[in-house]
Structure 1
Amino acid sequence: MTQTALIRPAWTPATIALMVLGFMVFWPLGLAMLAYIIWGERLDGFKADVNRATDDLTSAFRKNRHGMRTGGSGNAAFDEWRDAEMARLDEERKKLDEMRREFDQHMRDLRMARDREEFNRFMAERKANQAKTPGSVPDINA
């Protein structure tokens, strides 16, 4: 694979200069640059492995959260009550989310009304000022 980037995980004049500069400014920076030069080519594979592991972990949590549990408590009555409570809480969360959306819309409407009122007041004052000094600024609405 041919790489043409100036800063790449290889012993190039730019990376050596950055490493030396890093050691002079703050030694951990120089050490980090040295590690990048030596092990930087493995970084893409490492990132892919970490992303895959994270995706697997989050999907396991999602499955667990949505009721696809691998094991219960061993008590059927408790498991039934827990599932009913989780469903009730999910319903409450949906109601709260809907109320939040309605409130946000209400606040947007209030801001729009306030802005509209301020704009109308500005336009009225502008027309009044133009009426006092005729010929200074042409009216674009006329």
Structure 2
Amino acid sequence: MNQSALLRPDWTPATVALMVLGFVVFWPLGLAMLAYIMFGEKFQNFKREANRKADDAYAWCRSNRYAGPVNSTGNVAFDDWRKAELDRLDEERRRLDEMRADFDTYVRELRRAKDQDEFDRFMRDRQQVKPSSDTTPPAGYSGN
């Protein structure tokens, strides 16, 4: 823990001042600050431990994505059908992901071609209108 922190769970001038101010403003705030001063280090260890356990549980759930509490129902025919369906769905998802990637590539190339066409048109129009050496304003210029 960073011992240079202004608000650490210890009897520092800042924490004592906040505790007194909390009691003056609204007594539960002062009581909460007193609890933080006295038990704050234990709360941080509790939070760290709870986060670690939650991360472990989440990792376990991710690793057992398709497997429930029991991998087999006891019925071999159903288990074979279930595995075949899950494999088919995985293949379908993979195929759909490939199709989406192909479509994204197609749209990106379509946009690029449209941008290139607009840029080429701009360059043609710009080359056709050559700036003249006199100071006549371009057509449609109001001068305001």
What TM-score, normalized by structure 1, do the two folds share?
0.64
More divergent stretch after superposition (12-21 vs 51-60): 12-21
Q: Which residue of 2 aligns with 1:3?
A: 3
- Structure 1 residue matching 2:8: 3-state secondary structure: coil
Consecutive unaligned residues of structure 2, counting only runs of 5 or more, are: 136-144
Consecutive unaligned residues of structure 1, counting only runs of 5 or more, are: 137-142
More divergent stretch after superposition (60-69 vs 101-110): 60-69
Q: Which residue of 1 aligns with 2:96?
A: 96
The AA in structure 1 aligned to 2:103 is F
Q: Per-residue deviation at 1:74?
A: 1.8
CA distance in 1, matches of 2:98, 2:49: 38
- Structure 2 residue matching 1:132: 3-state secondary structure: coil
The RMSD of aligned alpha carbons is: 3.8
Q: Which residue of 1 aligns with 2:59?
A: 59
CA distance in 2, matches of 1:109, 1:92: 26
Q: Per-residue deviation at 1:43?
A: 4.9
Q: Which residue of 2 aligns with 1:127?
A: 127
More divergent stretch after superposition (6-15 vs 47-56): 6-15
Q: Per-residue deviation at 1:39?
A: 4.4
CA distance in 1, matches of 2:2, 2:56: 33
Q: Which residue of 1 aligns with 2:112?
A: 112
Native 8 Å contact 1:11 1:37 kept in 2: yes
Q: Per-residue deviation at 1:6?
A: 2.9
Correspondence 1:30-109 to 2 at 5 A: 30=29, 34=33, 37-65=37-65, 70-109=70-109
The AA in structure 2 aligned to 1:65 is R
Aligned length: 132
> Hey, which of these two has a bigger chunk of helix by percent?
1
Q: 1:9 to 1:124 in 2, by over 3 A?
A: farther
Native 8 Å contact 1:63 1:69 kept in 2: no
Q: 1:45 to 1:82 in 2, by over 3 A?
A: same
CA distance in 1, matches of 2:120, 2:38: 66
